Amino acid sequence: MALPTWPAGVPIIPRLEEFQPIERLLPPIATDMEGGNTRLRSRPGDNVGKLPLRVRMTFSQFDTFTNWWKTTLNNATARFTAHVFLGSVCANKVCQFTRDGIPQDQFIDSNTIDVTMTLRVYDV
């Protein structure tokens, strides 16, 4: 089954002043040992990064986006594909909203809305 794609006409690339770099891997699992040392282990699926985004949208783009993540992504729980900016290039990647990164909106003026979200980006 093909994954849904980011809706056409809705921006995903943040404005340059809003860009935050991608975390290219999840932090390792840490276990404190009795001898005082800490053992670090990589996690399964360490090819997953986190990408915080703040994207400016028009009202119609926002309506399209909100309808898409609520209906197509089953309330922002499903994976999807999107062209994401990885710091030097845009690449088509499988993504998913993080549990604490569900899209949140902030009205800027009568024409624009800033939407903040955090994506899990697979295979980075």
pLDDT digits (tens, 9 = 90+) for 24-44: 777 788 888 887 888 888 776
In a domain, 3, yes or no: no
Report pLDDT for 23: 75
Which tokens sit at 49? 């990064």
Report pLDDT for 26: 73
Report pLDDT for 57: 94
Report pLDDT for 64: 96
Distance CA 92, CA 5 (A): 10
In a domain, 63, yes or no: yes
Q: Which residues pair with 119 in a beta bridge?
A: 51, 97
Report pLDDT for 118: 92
In a domain, 55, yes or no: yes
Confidence at 46, pLDDT banded by 50, 70, 90: low
In a domain, 7, yes or no: no
In a domain, 2, yes or no: no
In a domain, 1, yes or no: no
Domain count, the chain: 1
